[in-house]
Structure 1
């Protein structure tokens, strides 16, 4: 049976993560061009960008119900096909409303795929405890997908390729990769509710709202999120808030506000993606050498300094460099929040990862629209600087409490007490 598969389970899952990263990253470098073609203001673009969050949040909450009726493998294929296939519709939008509707559909597909692929990866890892962990490698595929999408967008801009042609080509490539991956994705049964109770709670099992359990899916998710220490949630939210706003707005910042032009603006997203991929790839080594607290504090200080210096100086190249530095500092932040959450909830690891993903993903998607609305009044550089420095300060403050709410990184006993 295995010999009939062109690739094995892990590379197949890696390709799904790659696809998830590539779709919206392909859109980000073309945002300034689409904004100009449609004649949108910063506020109108911000409202349209909110469509991604508006579509993804219900999908994030509702996919757990789907996973009780079908396997994660099937949802990966269906949602991945929809996510990639919907991308070219951005090019046929004619105003802010139609663009927002397309982004709502993309957001829904993205949220469903995000839950499905992480569930597939976690379930595969749990069924193969004798193998090395795979989740980190899979998220590396996501980061490389972001880089592929951003680089393709920059290349398409440099070649003056039309948005429709560019997005159609990206969709065709990603659908082909999904066709290669689909036969080798690990088969899973419909997901059963988790029964482990996170430490520090009253002992009520964390469920996914299945019939016969207490609570609806929405209240179960809120109860699980509420069990997260505040410090862990703050690190996850702050890290992905900055990542989301830099991904969506840095091209416009450099090309328009610093006069760098479309080519340098598109290249800024690529530089940020390269820096994020590299820092996430090296994150485990850096944390082992310097420790979690030092890495998080260094990330917070570097992010704040880079934003302040990069946004007050006048050069487009300086702003480009600042964005790259932020990416190199920010990469390990969200994975460290995920690790801290699983240490806090060792008997319910998948619930912990789902909760951190939910709060972080909401910040990642809600941040860019917030930037658009505030930038209309305060200007884009000021808005990015204020939000970025505030998020960096939140990471630094949360780091002080983080190890009080989690187990020691190297197998120490879980601390008493609870929330930071």
Structure 2
């Protein structure tokens, strides 16, 4: 149905998707920026905090596994709205449990609900993003993920300000929810209904059955792209959940400075993603993924071995630039074939979130024994593997000659 949209409708659709990507980033950063405060209120150890954060992983993975089926039957717009609504409820519960109730179980459950909403929304908005790419005939997904990073940056800045001013966690979370809900009420009208829906006969091919959607998990290319995204998402997720605490515990700085370091990471990642479309148009997916892996490796080494906050901050910039491309480029590659796009994007997203969400709690368990800085060596290994498998993201099928020529030109890089 999206084939019939005129140029203005596609433009409005594209703009709305930019804002939709920013909203989950803002909400996630609102939670991350208050992790030191919530940890102190709960009196949790590093390992205990890791298990609390695991609630986010549980909810997100359940959401990711359900997402492709929900999108196939209800369409992307419906799932985006539902996901943002559910995640907002979870964020309110997290705020109450982390301050007024000081209950680890409440925070865990709130994060699980928050994660479920984010999980289904994540797949739906990426399916929406790949559809806009096809309609506009441009490389846009890194730009959409840059918008996610902008939302995360704004959330981190708001969190740092909230800490300095002394705003309570529940009030801060309520503000984040208000921003999300009010924005979605306006934006949903600009998004076409039914993107990714496989029961309406949008394609000349018959819609995928539930069994066929599950079978994409066995496709060699999809599996390899999933491993790439897994490694790079681990680099992004580790910073997202642990960077403020890594700086506070490893470099003995204040919680506000820890949140500021997270802001540096997000800013670097945002800059990388903003330039992503241009870089992909010039060099192609494979070369960009390999270069990003090298940047992430360099940044992680600097943070692990850095002697002071200033040196570590330089490493954080490289880490952020390196982590910028893996997730969006991998999802764009997964969406090459319009038939079954929700299933493949969902599968790759799920693989990525296994690292993005399960990895950081695992990092906390290791960090309890060897320290969070040394635990980052695990992230270093995952990023290296992702870089070595970058060739799997080479465009296939009905991609334009322009894309194929880019990949062939830089295949030897």
TM over 0.5, yes or no?
A: yes
Q: Please say if 1:269 is aligned against 2:268.
A: no
Find 1:379's aligned residue among 368, 371, 376. Answer: 371
TM-score of the superposed pair, with normalisation by structure 1: 0.82
Aligned twin of 1:238 = 231
Aligned twin of 1:396 = 387
Aligned twin of 1:103 = 111
- Asked whether the equivalents of residues 127 and 345 of structure 2 are also in contact (C-alpha less than 8 Å), the reply is no
Change (3 A) 1:22 1:387: same
26-35 or 230-239: bigger deviation: 230-239
Change (3 A) 1:109 1:313: same
Offset of residue 23 of structure 1: 0.9
Q: Please say if 1:46 is aligned against 2:46.
A: no
Aligned twin of 1:202 = none
Change (3 A) 1:44 1:318: same
Q: Tell me, in whole angstroms, the C-alpha distance in 2 between the residues paired with 1:263 and 1:375.
A: 21
Change (3 A) 1:120 1:293: closer
Offset of residue 190 of structure 1: 8.4
Change (3 A) 1:185 1:376: same
Change (3 A) 1:414 1:269: closer
Query: Can you give the 5+ residue segments of structure 1 that lack an aligned partner in the other structure?
Result: 197-204, 210-214, 416-420
71-80 or 48-57: bigger deviation: 71-80
Instruction: Give 1 or 2: higher helix fraction.
Output: 2
Query: Could you list the per-position Cα deviations for residues 20-62 of structure 1 after superposition, in whole angstroms to 9, with x for gaps in the alignment?
Result: 2211111111111111110001111111111111112222222
Find 1:336's aligned residue among 326, 329, 339. Answer: 329
Change (3 A) 1:102 1:208: farther
Q: Please say if 1:14 is aligned against 2:15.
A: no
Give the RMSD, CA atoms, in angstroms: 3.4
Offset of residue 178 of structure 1: 1.5
Query: Can you give the 5+ residue segments of structure 2 that lack an aligned partner in the other structure?
Result: 1-5, 409-413
Q: What secondary structure sits across from 2:403 in the alignment?
A: coil
Query: Could you list the per-position Cα deviations for residues 335-377 of structure 1 after superposition, in whole angstroms to 9, with x for gaps in the alignment?
Result: 332344445x576545433332221123211111111111111
Aligned twin of 1:199 = none
For residues 352-363 of structure 1, what are the structure 2 equivalents within 5 Å? 352-363=344-355
Q: Tell me, in whole angstroms, the C-alpha distance in 1 between the residues paired with 2:281 and 2:162.
A: 40
Change (3 A) 1:414 1:393: closer
Q: Tell me, in whole angstroms, the C-alpha distance in 2 between the residues paired with 1:409 and 1:337.
A: 19
356-365 or 394-403: bigger deviation: 394-403
Q: How many residues align?
A: 392
For residues 293-308 of structure 1, what are the structure 2 equivalents within 5 Å? 293-308=286-301
Q: Tell me, in whole angstroms, the C-alpha distance in 2 between the residues paired with 1:367 and 1:290.
A: 30
Change (3 A) 1:377 1:298: same
